Structure 1
Amino acid sequence: MHSARNVLFGLLAAAGVSAADGSDVTQLTKDTFNDFVKTNDLVLAEFFAPWCGHCKALAPEYEEAATTLKEKSIKLAKVDCTEESELCQSFGVEGYPTLKIFRGPENITPYSGQRKAAAITSYMIKQSLPAVSLLTSDTLEDFKTADKVVLVAYIDASDKASNETYTKVAEQYRDSYLFGATNDAALAEAEGVKAPAIVLYKQFDEGKATFTDKFEEKAIDTFAKVASTPLIGEVGPDTYSGYMSAGLPLAYIFSETAEERKELGETLKPLAEKYRGKINFATIDASSFGAHAGNLNLKTDKFPSFAIQETVKNQKFPFDQEKELTAEAVTAFVDDFVAGKIEPSLKSEEIPEKQEGPVTVVVGKTYEEIVLDDSKDVLIEFYAPWCGHCKALAPKYEDLASMYANSEFKDKVVIAKVDATANDVPDEIGGFPTIKLYPAGKKSEPATYSGARTVEDLIKFVQENGKYKAFVEEKKEDETPVAPAASESSSSEAAEATKHDEL
């Protein structure tokens, strides 16, 4: 326990940093961190490195959010991990920036929102409110417009089952939506619903959607996801990860002008309505994000264009760019996609004539054959040619592969790599290098590596997570460990190569 004197010292030190640089973001150290999160009910902390490009891009957004949230007594803080490495390691920081929410030193959850000021503000306000806000005739109208999407349940006070189910959903999805509730029958009547019912109010499309089925968690979740997604949305930095995590195929409408995107969106609205809840449709600015067309195996110099991405399996279905983008042609294409009549497009390097060196080279066309071979434990590195950390890892990875190739496990363990910028892979890759182990007999349950990038630690990982518990003896040589916290997140070049990176 810290003494009262230490607490006061910590607060003064933290406050001094903010006052000195005129920032509403408090910079913390190992000496001030615990006291700060103990004395503030809700804290968002950024763990960063000064050299990190993503951290630099986040900085002005983070400052703006801190200023907005100041009046709501929600604190934003930051920790320089190059100065406070032990503190960052204690919270499992493996890449920059990492953002975590603290409700005291022990109650810690990851921040999973977008890295924009408005998104940070909205997310943290949701965190500060009760899971369900109780509404009256005086507060309902303001609550309807408190966010782009809010849900209000109209439930009789005696309906305990519906109340409990709705509260469970609200607790689970409080990061995504604002939840309100009322048991005022007059309010329900004024909204044209009969309890129990849920109305989702939204600041787009038709303005609201109503749920009147039996209150079941899965049904409410599905309703909220479908009703909160714009009929024809827009793919951009603030929305991309949401579309990727929705679990539905995403149909992209690429165009270089806002006028054409609006026109194409209107043209395809009937199609989007037809497949609402089955396929998400969205326009994308080809003048700013045209390179993303290459991710979908489209030409990046021929717009407008259209493609569907099966987000779960990361399969790409590009519409023939030699054909005119008409409602009839696109409708036929989408109908065939839904019917399973179209084969996915596969980007792949040529299959190597023979494997050079101990590390097995995987390409798009051989991924299933090698990585998903159910008889072998397969450790695979997803890398990018430009990635400095991948280059630093290469000689150690070669040593690892050589050790297994010359061991009793040579026919049971494969050490592999794939250039994720040149080959389609079905895996979720958030940065380079990403290393995963696909154990024999459990290919649907890969383990993702997050330890130090040393041969010794990689051997332990294979041994602990593989079916064959394969252990090999490392040759003892001087080596400098490569820290795990410096993975290169893919936002520019890498965003063009991976599944769930931001645009």
Structure 2
Amino acid sequence: MHTAKNFALGLLAAAAVATASDVTQLKTDTFDEFVKTNDIVLAEFFAPWCGHCKALAPEYEEAATSLKEKDIKLAKIDCTEEAELCQKHGVEGYPTLKVFRGPDNVSPYKGQRKAAAITSYMIKQSLPAVSLLTKDTLEEFKKADKVVIVAYIDAADKASNETFGKIAEKLRDNYPFGASNDAALAEAEGVTAPAIVLYKDFDEGKAVFTEKFDVEAIEKFTKTAAIPLIGEVGPETYSDYMSSGLPLAYIFAETPEERKEISELLKPIAEAQRGVVNFATIDAKAFGAHAGNLNLKTDKFPAFAIQETVKNQKFPFDQEKAITLEAIKAFVDDFVSGKVDPSIKSEPIPEDNSGPVKVVVAKNYNDVVLDDTKDVLIEFYAPWCGHCKSLAPKYEELGALYAKSEFKDQVVIAKVDATANDVPDEIQGFPTIKLYAAGAKSEPVTYSGARTVEDLIKFISENGKYKASVIEETTEASAAPAATESPAAEEAAKEDHDEL
């Protein structure tokens, strides 16, 4: 009996260890006090049924444990139980993450949903925009993240101090910023004030800026120097490359050894094009399907392609040719000189496009979507996307309502398979729905509401030129807040996909 009791206690102890969490679950009556008594809190508003929330959970737990020693708290709120609290904080989809510095100082979390990214982002958020450094704190500050930026400026140089402060405020979500007025410390670091040193734990270890302090010049220097000469594209780095504003040259290869070998081969090109074209390897075994997004064959590696990230144009290198220093140099030089035409992937234009939802492909995209006389609501979807499949019958109903209304010649309901057609828009997840209003095609409005026919009609009437509202024929069941499947999250759809 004694043994059985000990065994039962042991099971309870093991269960307690297994369920111990460094994430604090908050309720309406504990939320305000928690954010008041902690300097900085990352709060996740979630729903138990949400697949994206389930995928985030282990990453969030790992980050909470990593941040515990820095006294940065992570919390979660179940919106199915605390609906009023979630509504108060403007939660429209799950998961929603917000950074709290007290109850009234709230900002959206803008980082990636991986443990390392959450940890890095929250450490940067916990620091002042610019940390004042001394010889005793500099070395520790250099280890705060993979990239840190330190300015060495005379205290009397108000203009340079002000300029650096502006950059720090603008980019504080991306990098930790520090500053020192100690001339001896600057000399020990090999610079003379005013200067900026970007310390990094890769490539040459640091980069130095000694030009005139100008916001645009410093920002360009920072974004260029902070990216590895030849980095690696993956779920955690993809958005950084896309937001850099520079074209990205992909090196696809199936083994680490082959990726290293080709990187060494092409290193002189990457060095010559630094600040003009970013270079990165990509694991062709894990992310080979992404080659298709660049109009490459997905079964022939190694391969090389350039993506113009701003215009979302693709420039695949002929896969029948060998990847040599001479061939890739000529290809990259021609790309930079504007001598290479982009490759356009498109399904055929439908012979019959008279349905209530117009089918858009790359070849008719401009004719349909950018028709300046019409309000065009377009859904960017993927065939494997579960949320897209759920939306399909409602979207068809929406199209039918407008097709037989007085607005049939003014409003177009359209859809495009964004995996089979090159589109100029940067699509982060599926489905993405945008309204291109007549007369305002350069400023599309992205839809983020619940995916009901009623709410989509309201969106069109509020944001379109023609304020076109139609009457829904059937009563819609209440819908959960819109979720979006990211190309990085196919696990949630139980499909075998390996998009970034």
TM-score clears 0.5: yes
Query: Could you tell me which of 116, 127, 132 is aligned with 2:125?
Result: 127
Q: Which residue of 2 aligns with 1:443?
A: 441
Q: Distance in 1 between matches of 2:482 and 2:492?
A: 20
Alignment of 1:274 onto 2:294: no
The aligned runs of 1:89-488 (5 Å cut-off) are: 89-472=87-470, 474-488=471-485
SS in 1 for 2:389: helix
Q: Distance in 1 between matches of 2:418 and 2:29?
A: 41
CA displacement at 1:174 relative to structure 2 = 1.2
Quote the sequence identity (%). 77
- 2:479 is aligned with what amino acid? V
Q: Distance in 2 between matches of 1:256 and 1:309?
A: 20
- 1:123 is aligned with what amino acid? Y
CA displacement at 1:337 relative to structure 2 = 1.2
SS in 1 for 2:407: coil
CA displacement at 1:19 relative to structure 2 = 9.7
Q: Which residue of 2 aligns with 1:7?
A: none
Q: Distance in 2 between matches of 1:333 and 1:340?
A: 11
Q: Distance in 1 between matches of 2:472 and 2:107?
A: 40
When residues 419 and 86 of structure 1 are mapped into structure 2, their CA distance, relative to the original with a 3 A threshold, is farther
Q: Distance in 1 between matches of 2:386 and 2:144?
A: 44
Q: Distance in 2 between matches of 1:292 and 1:335?
A: 24
CA displacement at 1:491 relative to structure 2 = 2.3
Q: Which residue of 2 aligns with 1:45?
A: 43
Q: Distance in 2 between matches of 1:147 and 1:34?
A: 31
Q: Distance in 2 between matches of 1:229 and 1:63?
A: 28
CA displacement at 1:388 relative to structure 2 = 3.3
- 1:209 is aligned with what amino acid? A
The aligned runs of 1:7-22 (5 Å cut-off) are: 21-22=19-20
Does structure 2 retain, via aligned residues, the 8 Å contact 1:384–1:494?
no
Does structure 2 retain, via aligned residues, the 8 Å contact 1:153–1:198?
yes
Q: Distance in 1 between matches of 2:81 and 2:343?
A: 47
Q: Distance in 2 between matches of 1:490 and 1:453?
A: 19
Q: Which residue of 1 aligns with 2:81?
A: 83
Q: Which residue of 1 aligns with 2:10?
A: none
- 1:483 is aligned with what amino acid? A
- 2:478 is aligned with what amino acid? P
Q: Which residue of 1 aligns with 2:486?
A: 489
CA displacement at 1:493 relative to structure 2 = 4.8
CA displacement at 1:359 relative to structure 2 = 1.0
Q: Distance in 2 between matches of 1:367 and 1:382?
A: 12
RMSD of aligned residue pairs (Cα, Å) = 2.2
SS in 1 for 2:351: coil
When residues 475 and 230 of structure 1 are mapped into structure 2, their CA distance, relative to the original with a 3 A threshold, is closer
When residues 50 and 104 of structure 1 are mapped into structure 2, their CA distance, relative to the original with a 3 A threshold, is same
When residues 392 and 301 of structure 1 are mapped into structure 2, their CA distance, relative to the original with a 3 A threshold, is closer
Does structure 1 retain, via aligned residues, the 8 Å contact 2:453–2:476?
no
Q: After alignment, is 366-375 or 447-456 more displaced?
A: 447-456
Q: Distance in 2 between matches of 1:95 and 1:248?
A: 31
SS in 1 for 2:433: strand
Does structure 1 retain, via aligned residues, the 8 Å contact 2:235–2:488?
no
- 1:400 is aligned with what amino acid? L
When residues 475 and 303 of structure 1 are mapped into structure 2, their CA distance, relative to the original with a 3 A threshold, is closer
The number of aligned residues is 481
CA displacement at 1:148 relative to structure 2 = 1.4
Q: Distance in 2 between matches of 1:59 and 1:370?
A: 41
Q: Which residue of 2 aligns with 1:63?
A: 61
Q: Distance in 1 between matches of 2:427 and 2:90?
A: 19
Does structure 1 retain, via aligned residues, the 8 Å contact 2:249–2:305?
yes
CA displacement at 1:412 relative to structure 2 = 1.9
Does structure 2 retain, via aligned residues, the 8 Å contact 1:94–1:486?
no
SS in 2 for 1:281: strand
Q: Distance in 2 between matches of 1:317 and 1:336?
A: 11
Does structure 2 retain, via aligned residues, the 8 Å contact 1:93–1:485?
no
Structure 2 unaligned segments of length 5 or more: list them.
Answer: 1-15
Structure 1 unaligned segments of length 5 or more: list them.
Answer: 1-17
CA displacement at 1:225 relative to structure 2 = 0.3
SS in 2 for 1:99: strand
When residues 341 and 370 of structure 1 are mapped into structure 2, their CA distance, relative to the original with a 3 A threshold, is same
Q: Distance in 2 between matches of 1:228 and 1:38?
A: 35
- 1:444 is aligned with what amino acid? S
**For each residue in 1:13-69, what CA deviation from the matched residue of structure 2 results, as whole angstroms up to 9, or x when unmatched?**
xxxxx9994111011223322222122111011223334443333322221221121
Q: After alignment, is 348-357 or 26-35 more displaced?
A: 26-35
CA displacement at 1:311 relative to structure 2 = 1.2
- 1:421 is aligned with what amino acid? T
**For each residue in 1:245-280, what CA deviation from the matched residue of structure 2 results, as whole angstroms up to 9, or x when unmatched?**
111111000111111111111111111111111110
Using the size of structure 2 for normalisation, the TM-score is: 0.91
Does structure 2 retain, via aligned residues, the 8 Å contact 1:421–1:494?
no
CA displacement at 1:409 relative to structure 2 = 2.5
- 2:112 is aligned with what amino acid? Q
Q: Distance in 2 between matches of 1:19 and 1:190?
A: 49
Q: Distance in 1 between matches of 2:93 and 2:302?
A: 37
SS in 1 for 2:76: strand
When residues 72 and 502 of structure 1 are mapped into structure 2, their CA distance, relative to the original with a 3 A threshold, is farther
CA displacement at 1:408 relative to structure 2 = 3.1
